[in-house]
Amino acid sequence: MHVPVAIVGAGPSGSLLAWILRQRGIESIVLERQSREYVESRIRAGVMEQNSVDLMIKAGIGERLQKECMYHRGVAIGLYNEHHFLDFDKLIGIGVTVYGQSEVTKDLLGGLAAEGHNVLYEAPVRAIEDIEGDRATVKYTHEGADQELTCDFVIGCDGFHGPSRQAMPASVLKTHEKVYPFGWLGVMVNAPPSKDVALFAHHDRGFALLSMRSPKVSRLYLQCKPDEDLDEWPDERIWDELDTRLGTPGWELERGEIFQKDVTPLRSFFCYPMTHGRLFLCGDAAHIVPPTGAKGLNSAFADVSVLSSGLIQHYTKDDESILRRYGEVALERNIQTQRFSWSNTSKYHIFPDSNAFDRRMQAGEMEYLVTNETAQISYAQQHTGLPFAYWPEL
Ligand code: RFL
Ligand code: PHB
């Protein structure tokens, strides 16, 4: 079998790319290791930049998003147990949108299924070969049998642990990485959000975040050890710690039933080049950010915007100019996203090896942010997201 575009992974980047290409009649196959139910229920990102929202709408898959999303004018910042509101909309005329990643994937995978698109679930890719040749080969397993296909392009949308990046020649691939000495303990809660915007708190005992998924469901996080044992965190301890780090006089954190707990270690990672021969890396396959900037899903969408533009231009106009620039353009944006995510992570969290000087300077950074309008404008521009370099013609 030969297909023009083989997409490895049906997460947000793979499913959005397949959807956009389909709108322009460009044939692709999506190979996904997990079941559809598994992908759709993975609880991860919750905040979308306006460009990500606009891309969904432009691609004709934003109907439910527009109906159900929550628009936030800005964010609140907790410092010394006081809450400061940063009104992004007032500062730069744009806010952020809350809509869960699980809803994004449900919309995209549902849309692809409704149109009968070729998405193979429980079809792990085992190897990607011949990327320097005329056609690439993708080897995968489906329904217990080893299969293979050839394609013009392989798009690695298979996340941080997928096989695509490993298919790059070791002599070509360069990587940069930082592993942080902490993680996030996250809980999903059946309770209305205690604030109308997200609250990011810097506290002596560690970072904490109040976010949400809907008017009835809250999402909260606590800085913890990277290998934190959840057994040591009964619900009562989680609530008490959240109260300590997020609280302010006269305000109460709404408690509710905790229906999921997880621990995420924090890491920054990127690789380059993002393309080699017929292989193109996209989203978490090429870069990971710590969640403090809410950038992972949005960076994946930024990649898809450029890559889909390049593929559409190639297949409809026989012009490869965007496709050839994809790696460079996507990396350039990603470096700025990496910088914001790293600097935000460094600002908000308590580092176990920091001394009194480090901590005072860190608190000084936070004081600067909550009191200086120039700092707030810069923060707002980065938090709401950098432009996408190319938009697909749809
Ligand atoms: P994904 O979502 O990891 O999807 C990759 C897909 O590839 C499949 N796969 C394979 N398929 C076939 N064969 C193989 N051999 C395969 N190996 C893997 C996997 O099963 C999977 O379905 O990558 P993608 O599409 O690039 O999307 C990236 C986003 O998921 C990620 O960046 C965000 O979730 C990060 N993130 C956040 N991003 C935001 O923009 N805003 C946020 O508020 C935000 N919060 C978060 C986050 C990530 C978190 N965690 C758990 C890492 C909060 C958390 C806690
Ligand atoms: C979330 O709602 O899960 C969330 C919000 C903001 C972040 C990270 C995660 O920075």
pTM: predicted TM-score of the whole model, two decimal places:
0.96
Domain membership flag for residue 22: yes
Which residue among 15, 28, 47, 101 is best mutated to probe the pocket of ligand 1, counting the most ligand atoms within 8 A of its Cβ? 101
Q: Which atom of ligand 2 lies nearest, measured to the CA of 293?
A: 10
Residue 46: pLDDT over 90:
no
Domain membership flag for residue 385: no
Closest ligand to residue 266's CA: 1
Please indicate whether residue 125, judged by its CB atom, sits closer than 6 Å to ligand 1.
yes
With CA atoms as reference, report the closest residue to 11 among 101, 100, 98, 99: 101
Please indicate whether residue 124, judged by its CB atom, sits closer than 6 Å to ligand 1.
yes
Mean pLDDT of 337-351: 97
**295-308 b/e (C-beta count within 10 Å ≥ 16 → b):** bbbbbbbbbbbbbb
Please indicate whether residue 9, judged by its CB atom, sits closer than 6 Å to ligand 1.
yes
Please report the pLDDT score of residue 45 as a whole number: 81
Domain membership flag for residue 312: yes
Please report the pLDDT score of residue 279 as a whole number: 98
Provide the domain count of the chain. 1
Please indicate whether residue 349, judged by its CB atom, sits closer than 6 Å to ligand 2.
no
- Residue ranges making up the domain that contains 347: 2-70+97-178+267-351
CATH of the domain at 36: 3.50.50.60
Residue 47: pLDDT over 90:
yes
Domain membership flag for residue 189: no
142 within 8 A of 124, measured Cβ to Cβ: no
Domain membership flag for residue 155: yes
**161 CB neighbour count, 10 Å cutoff:** 10
Please indicate whether residue 164, judged by its CB atom, sits closer than 6 Å to ligand 1.
no
Please report the pLDDT score of residue 308 as a whole number: 98
Please indicate whether residue 31, judged by its CB atom, sits closer than 6 Å to ligand 1.
yes
137-186 pLDDT tens trace? 999 999 999 999 999 999 999 999 999 999 999 999 999 999 999 999 99
